[in-house]
Amino acid sequence: MAGGIFSPLGSCSELEKANCHPLVCLLCHEPYQHPCLLDCYHNFCASCLRGRASDGRLRCPLCGHPSVVRGGTGLPPVDRLLQFLVDSSADGEEDVQCANCDRRCAKAELDTMYFCNTCGQPLCAPCREETHRAKMFARHEIVSLSKRTKDIHKKCPLHEEPYIMFSTEKKSMLCINCFRDMQGESRAHCIDIETAYMQGCQRLDQAVMAVKELQTSTREAIVLLKAMIEEVRNSASEEEAAINSLFGRMQEQLSERKKALLKAVQSQHEEKEKAFKEQLAHLASLLPTLQVHLVTCSAFLSSANKAEFLDLGYQLMERLQRIVKLPHRLRPAQTSKINSEYRAEFARCLEPLLMLSPRRSVVGSAGGIGPGIAGTNMLPGGQCSKTLMVPSCPPTGDKMSTGPIVRKPTMHRYISTKVLLAEGRETPFAEHCRNYENTYRMLQTEIQGLKDQVQELHRDLTKHHSLIKTEIMSEILQKSLQMDVQIAAHYSAVEMMRSVFEEVWEETYQRVANEQEIYEAQLHDLLQLRQENSCLTTITKQIAPYVRSIAKVKERLEPRLQEPREPKEEQAQMLLKICDDSEA
């Protein structure tokens, strides 16, 4: 009927709402038929579990706990206790007929029926008063119908004798023959049925009390977990709202700062481009003038005789010297790098939203340096951006709350300190870190001891409901106050070292800033040399056609000028000498 149901049951809340009967299967919702007990102590009908086993394991449909099944049936063992309760319940629901008067009793009148354990027959109330009051029935055992003794528990199935003893060692009832067949040392563990019943009731009461305590603790845990689930849901909602709100404000701030930065970049681009174009226009107008004068010099040397050279040569040389001495802007007046310091600007606009501690500058625009700095990121152009720490919750009502906000100790701080001490450099800060770690470990150990004591007291109070002596609480409170004084004193001692370390840090940052400036200047000089070389290459490529044209002109003029070679050589030497004298 229910063997084909392989889907797991719903949640525990659905199970509680169902208010299921303890003798009804949770799968088929019918009274148990051959109930089987799993390793997780959940019961199901054998037909409901048939076919669910895989590789010798059967997973509970309720909690999912795996149970080991043995045998070819693939089913766990039958729960005899639950089967007894099912049978007893079924017997109580059957119609009972009096053995004397054949009167049938309805289910509502079962409490008025009796049962004679000697005769093994049910009796109604009138027959019990009329027939079983005779002397011949004086020794008959008459009990209520619900307390009748079944034959299966009345006699030993091996010897057909009534049970008279109970073995606490084997947890089984014994007849007289079973008792005689036992060894002597085993007989010491045998007691009569009544005593065994009383002891069993006492032990069962103890077990029931333990289960009731577990039930109470389980209900408290369920209530606590439900409250925590609701708290987690509310906390998640609040956190999501806070994240969305902060993210929205950050987007607005970043968007506004982005527009301002893009506008600044565009302004720098326009200014630099305008300056470069003006300088380029000047150089472009200068280059044809230089080319014309070079061609003029070459043609003059080729065509002028001595008299013409002496008449016009000095005028040409003065003109060339004046052209050279004119102020020409050959080098770029500024760099082509556009620097908006966008990282620092974005960080600065987010500082109020993230509650970051304010920066304080050390050297010009080299970035902020101050307490609470976690790291340094160097930006292009020699800028230095500092990443600030996110502050933790400051203590209230003491001196420690007046100082700058710092973060809690983390594993990163511990590892960084270990690395610093492993370098072996004997510096004041390294010595301070060594002393700090020793003191901090001592304080941490004492705080952990107090924490363990408080947790133990809280567990005793909530779980075991035991009384706590007020002396213990006073002692813990006193230790906690002493620890607070020690931590405050240690914090003050560490705070007093700030001025000493800040001087060292400022000197270090000054040296780093100078090194950065020198490094950036070196890169700038190399870039400038590269630009000059590129300009020379471009000018050389532009002059090449003119040189080739002058050479062709000279080849055409050589046949016309049939002057002796020696005078021309003397003229050239004289011109070179005049040029050298003029330069001197």
Q: Which pLDDT belongs to residue 263?
A: 92
Matching residue, tokens 């150089």: 283
Matching residue, tokens 């919750």: 393
| Burial class, 300, CB count within 10 angstroms (exposed 0-12 / middle 13-18 / buried 19+) | middle
What 223-231 contacts at long range (C-beta under 8 Å, 24+ apart), as own/partner pairs, is none
Q: Is the pLDDT of residue 35 over 90?
A: no
Give residue-wise pLDDT tens across range 350-359.
888 876 444 4
Per-chain mean pLDDT for the chain: 75
Lowest mean pLDDT among 215-229, 451-465, 526-540: 451-465
Q: Which pLDDT belongs to residue 355?
A: 67
Mean predicted confidence (pLDDT) in 402-409: 44
Q: How far apart are CA 151 and CA 155, in angstroms?
A: 7
Q: How far apart are CA 44 and CA 24, in angstroms?
A: 9
Q: Is the pLDDT of residue 241 over 90?
A: yes
Backbone angles phi, psi at 432, to 5 degrees: -60, -45
Q: Which pLDDT belongs to residue 438?
A: 84
Query: b or e along 43-74 (b: 16 or more beta carbons within 10 Å of the residue's beta carbon)?
Result: bbbbbbbeebbeeeebbbbbeeeebebeeeeb
CA distances from 96 to 84, 103, 129, 137 (A): 19, 8, 18, 22
Give residue-wise pLDDT tens across range 74-84.
788 888 777 87
Confidence of residue 240 (pLDDT cuts 50, 70, 90): very high
C-alpha triplet 185, 188, 194: angle, nearest 5°: 150
Q: How far apart are CA 547 and CA 126, in angstroms?
A: 148
pTM above 0.75, yes or no: no
Pairing of strands 43-45, 35-37: antiparallel
Query: b or e along 450-475 (b: 16 or more beta carbons within 10 Å of the residue's beta carbon)?
Result: eeebeeebeeeeeeeeeeeeeeeeee
Nearest alpha-carbon partner for 340 in 414, 268, 284, 395: 268
Residue 556 or residue 232, greater confidence: 232
